[in-house]
Amino acid sequence: MPNESKLFKTIGRMGPAWIIAADACGPATLASLSIAGATYGYKLLWVVLLSVLFGATAQHLAVKIGVIEGRGIIATTERRLGPVWSWVLTLDAVLTTWLAALVLMNALCGVTSLVTGINTPYWGFFFAAVIAFILIQGGYRRFEMLCKGLIVIILGSFLGTLAFVDLSWPEIGAGLVPNLPGGLDSAMMMAAIMGGAVHITIIGMHTYNCNAKKWTRGDLKLAKLDNALSMGGAFGLYSILIFFVAAAVLFPNQIKVVTATDAALSLKPLLGSGAMAIFLLGLWGAAFSTLSPTVLAGTYFILDKMKWPLYDNNRDKRFIWTVIVSCTLVAFGPFLKGGFFLLLPLMLALGLCGTPLILAIILYLLNRKEIAGEDINSWPLNFLAGMTLLVTILLALRFIVAKLGLVT
């Protein structure tokens, strides 16, 4: 009984990394993995696996600096590196996060139009009002159970489908070997897959989540477990299962994924005629639950830079107005041109381009003895963190170069 009590107590104290994992397990990651698997088969499996490893590494770095400093990444940067770097990071984080929120709102409204048959961009204003109300009235803690449950439900759907498909183990083995298919599309998909796990929004958000939970240095072991189970476990399984199902079902049948309804065909072996409805409802839930913490992340970046209250602040007018302004801006997401399912991976690829800065700052700070003290990075962690930063830069640069038409 004492051991069981300790176990339940530990589980009850977990949560911050699950918010991040739920954000990472959103519609953009689903779209990217579905398109990549349907287009290239198992060839990009190595990128998927690296995204899981590097995503968990980035989140461990984030929670570590958040706990050590006892503040969010914007305030930490201003304290340790000065106001110039703080402003640069704030602009990078806010603009990238707002871009993500705009595209997520576009997706949420697009799926809503498909499900209801009411096709109008003005859904954005309705959902913006709902999200503003939730954030102002509910705050951080109400997302925890929703996010945990959502990951389990989506994971179960693809796990069940995997039992009905034939996997090509020789092709899976070949997909473990790094390769670079040519063209802009492959460069974008590789950047998008990595951007789903290594993204400035969720890295920055995690520094605030752990402080909202009032974690201290003594909770770093708990943070490792929280991160391992959520990003390493749930997000890892989510990514691999979606990718495998798309590569096993869509690629052999030469189904080109352009819309959400194309991607829904991946669940047909398990769900039959109900695949479309269940997929769209799951995509809707993923979009909604991802959009709320994304808007909250942008709000935290602004509040932190302005030195305004961050937590338990639903009565603070500055928090309320920042949320309202953010939601008003995000409401225009459905007016973006292009199909929402293809905009999602583009958003992640662009987000990856804005991510190296925050990784470099955190890595630098965690290698300063006067800052990290006895929790200074070990050489294995520095190796993983360095590889995370290097691969992020290389994939982002490859996408930019391909987008500019400098290579074919």
pLDDT means per 10 residues, the chain with 408 residues, are 47 68 89 96 98 97 96 97 98 98 97 94 96 78 56 75 90 95 93 98 95 90 90 91 95 93 89 84 86 93 94 77 96 95 96 98 97 95 98 97 82
Q: What angle do CA 9, 13, 16 make, to 5 degrees?
A: 155
pLDDT at position 88 is: 98
In this structure, are residues 260 and 111 in contact, taking their beta carbons and an 8 Å threshold?
yes
User: What pLDDT shows up at residue 15?
Assistant: 64
Q: What is the pLDDT of residue 280?
A: 87
Predicted confidence at residue 296, as pLDDT, reads: 92
Angle between helices 340-353 and 379-403 (to 10 degrees): 120
Q: Which amino acid is present at 322?
A: T
- At residue 338's C-alpha, the angle toward residues 332 and 342, to 5°, is 110
315: three-class secondary structure by DSSP: coil
Query: Would you state the pLDDT for residue 140?
Result: 47
- DSSP secondary structure of 196-256: HHS-HHHHHHHHHHHHHTT--GGGHHHHHHHHIIIIIIIIHHHHHHHHHHIIIIITTTT--
Structure tokens at 238: 């989510």
Q: Residue 285's closest CA among 25, 17, 36, 16?
A: 25
Contact in structure between 395 and 54 (CB atoms under 8 Å): no
Say what the pLDDT of residue 270 is: 80
pLDDT of residue 1: 46
Number of helical H runs and strand E runs in the chain: 21, 0
Residue-level pLDDT at 268: 87
Cα torsion 120, 293, 18, 316 to 10°: value is -150
* Distance from chain centroid for Cα 241: 17
CB of 66 within 8 A of CB of 210? yes
Nearest Cα to 334, choosing from 132, 118, 137, 107? 107
- Total Cβ atoms within 10 A of residue 119: 12
Structure confidence at residue 25 (pLDDT): 87
Those residues with Cβ within 8 angstroms of residue 6's Cβ, 6 or more apart along the chain or in another chain: none
Q: What is the pTM of this model?
A: 0.93
